[in-house]
Structure 1
Amino acid sequence: MLINGNFQGDTGWWASGGTFNVQDQMGCITFTNGGENPWDVVLGQSNLKLLKDEIYTLRFSAMAKNAADLKAVIQHDGEPYTNYLNQTLPLTNTVQSFEFQVKPSARDKKAQLAFQVGAQPANTVCLSDISLYGPKYEEEDMRSAVRVNQVGYLLNAKKRATIQTDTQTPLPWQLLDAQGTTIAEGQTIPFGLNSGSGEQVQIADFSQVQTPQEDIILEVDGQKSHPFDISHDIYKTMKYDALSFFYQQRSGTAIENAYVQRADLARPAGHPQEIVTCFDQTDAKGNDWPGCNFSLDVTGGWYDAGDHGKYVVNGGISVWTLMNYYERESLHKTNSTSAFADGMVQIPEQSNQYNDLLDEAKWMMDFMLAMQVPAHKKVSVPVGDQSGHLSDLKLTEIDAGGMVFHKIADAKWTGVPLPPHDDTQPRFLSYPSTAATLNLAATAAQCARIWRPLNATYADKCLAAAEKAWQAANTHKNVYAYDNFDGSGPYGDTHVADEFYWAAAELFVTTGKDEYKTALEQSPYYLTSPTKSDDLTWSNMGSAGTVSLALVPNRLDQSTINEARSNLLKAADVYEASVKKQGYLIPYQSDQYPWGSNSSLMNRSIFLGLAFDWTKTQKYLQAMSDSMDYILGRNPMDHSYVSGYGSYPLLNPHHRFWAHSENPDLPIVPPGVISGGPNSIDFSDPVAATLKGNCTGQTCWIDDIGAWTMNEVTVNWNAPFFWVTSFLDEHASW
């Protein structure tokens, strides 16, 4: 039941109050201050699942450098910390072995094993050969074998369900209205093995139903789906909830009751006055950083994910995606009024005469502008690719004027839960990077052309920053971010040719200058598409440049613009063609699902949407709709990956404020937040580690706040989710 009980590395274990390391296959915790309570110094493992009144056997060996007491505790992980085992054991410097029987007084799917050694003088305590044996905890499986979009299907879209069954022959299905009356019936179509989930599946197609329906159920061979609707309004509210995510991730301002879906989502401002300087301590790899002789006011921006870091790189793709939707809506909208016109979105700026979508994007854009290094300021940075020796970085002092700091974050990782207004960690600027600088160059150029007819002063500010950033990036082409700092993610990227192309494309579209045209034409990413250079992500931004060249009027000749569109259409064709090759009918043909796989599906859907804009061919719109069917429940987990939508929605994302499962005084997640989704590649968090070897592709997911590799939420994932729901609602009557 335990992970890594013989300490082959440190996987599976956590420590608090001391330093954890592995010595001679023993897990050791060393502490200099034992605190006041036994639990002030702990070595433990969480995510244990126990059955009531069953017998479990705990075995382990332990020793201490100096004589000490060890408390072996098995308890509920959280209030009221119900104890199932609590034994105090005297330790010496000789290894002793222990064995205990445990009979839990309750069924508990959130228990922990804790070895407590606090409230004692400084010491080193080591354990080994730890095991816990007992009956396997079986979750009550509420999943239906009939997987549908649990919210519903657009009236004129194809309406299909996937049925998990080992039966090889067609099965009868009936579509039942809310009164149980059959409104349609037919036979399923056997698909066979869906390799992405390891299941045998069949497809039920009830597309012939094209009248509005509420709370209908699909019954297949006696098994029933969750209820769903057929309507033009499936995404009408969802798009606004998706956009509300960004308001609720704002830093530096109170989140007000008037602008959120529930009163418990309001909170005081987190980090209301963020005036910070460069990191000037020893990093996690042992490098000493000299800091810098200036500070910046970087108040504002969006918290990136479930933590309180603010990142230029991940912010860049997110801001670009929101502003891109504004641009394409302006060029291709089917209605005369934007769905995000001033006053349409619940945000404080809703009456300032600017489009509310632009207002939200500007909140992050202003932060990114503030992260630019002032002229002639010097900062010490690692120049060149030093990823092979992170514990011995060579730092070079450079004139960093015009470059952009990579991130602002806590000095150390904080725990869950922790509302942002309660975060007291010291915060620092991480050094400027080439990637962050190019992210500002690209998005600030995009900002300049969008805001030009609305606010020329702000447009000038954006363009000046963009051109300074471009010049600085070309002066310092190889300053890369690394995973050297506690308290924040690295967003490291040692390949920035795609960012250079993206920035050149945005600057050329905005200014028409030959300098930028030459740069983009000489790039290996020239007119690239996501199928040529991989999916659009924060680390692979080349295709974003091609999108802007193909979408926004510019000085390229028409044949080149047509070529850019053709390349993007070819990518959309590849995505659309893969739908029929997947048992869950999605434009994603793979047996492996990476971290944030749901965002890959959403970003692919952006290219499908653009293809529809340019061709009016409905197959692209249908593939987008199929993507959302998967996200909203037609998936092997029979789960909606979106909070607040569907019979089984996302409830427990990895988030420090939306952490009701950890602290009942904190709120559950607001509606409209998308989970990162299945991750069959990286099982590095303790919850995900329990699934390793026990899941396949699309089934490697769990709705657990501790599963950050599978159930994280981020700005760059909600941005394409917003884009897709907005597009589908705009075309709801297709």
Structure 2
Amino acid sequence: MHKKIAKAVTSSLMAASMVASSVAALIPMSAAAGNCLGQNDFDDGIGLPWHICVTNPAEQKFDISGGTYNCTIVNPGGKERGGDSRWDCQFRHRSLHIEQGHKYTIHWEVDATSAGELHTHIAPLSGVGGVWQNNSEQWEQGWNNVKISEGHNEFDSSFTAKETLEVAEWAFHYGGAGPYQPSDCFPKDTTLSFDNMKLECETCGSEFVSASKTPCLWDPTNELGVITPRSDVRINQVGYFVGADKKATYATSEEKSAVSFTVKKNGTAVFTGKGKPIGFDKDAGDYCQILDFSSVDEPGTYTIEVDDTSNTFLNPKTK
């Protein structure tokens, strides 16, 4: 497995419930490669678009070192700890496009400090339906978790998509016991080190397919805000889960007093609040204010507005 596959870039102010890493350079991907991911390995210390996610009270920490993305389970969550189930701890990549009838190949590797199991899938963000799970092409037959041995593990799979997913995720769930998960996936303090992540569309990668016929290949322009001008309201691009903290950042070149903001659903205001100025942020290069709307907890699509700028975000279910 060749580790040197081109890198994609992004940088972002993430909400407190999400963790990620940022990057500053872009190397375009060759269309012939059929690559559907924004990051394949972690040799250069770059993580995004891969990131970790938790549902309270689950907790995990990460570092990117030694060419791997290392996720350590501090608290696996689960029903008995006040959480939900195995999806309380996640490692995932969003903004994928899956095209009906296209054939895909998958490769992934993980080193585990303890033996256990995990669930993995490629599905829409809603968590309803999907095209691949647990190394099975047959969605309805893939419910059994993938067994992970202590030490090094490698997996290969393939599938032909039975439906088009305009926005999909490749996710790994390895949290605590609960519905669909009779026991904790891994013991507390287990570290999972992911590497050599591959999702390739053989159909799009064919030399006989023109560039206009390759919808599945990773396109970093939306992630980078190249096509759409970047809003002063900086949201968590991977969404805000029900039950989690929900914060955005209002960033401007000039310092402002606390701004008023409104959260709307279907054009109707559901929350209003005031920003909390935190001064000049050197990393962002802007004066920033924190916009806290954690009480907005129903699943759905929302818009957050400040003066004449806005941004749209998703509240998915706790999965």
The normalised TM-score by structure 2 is 0.50
Indicate the structure (1 or 2) with the bigger Cα radius of gyration: 1
Structure with greater contact order relative to length (CA < 8 Å, sep ≥ 6) = 2
The normalised TM-score by structure 1 is 0.23
Higher strand proportion: 2
Higher helix proportion: 1
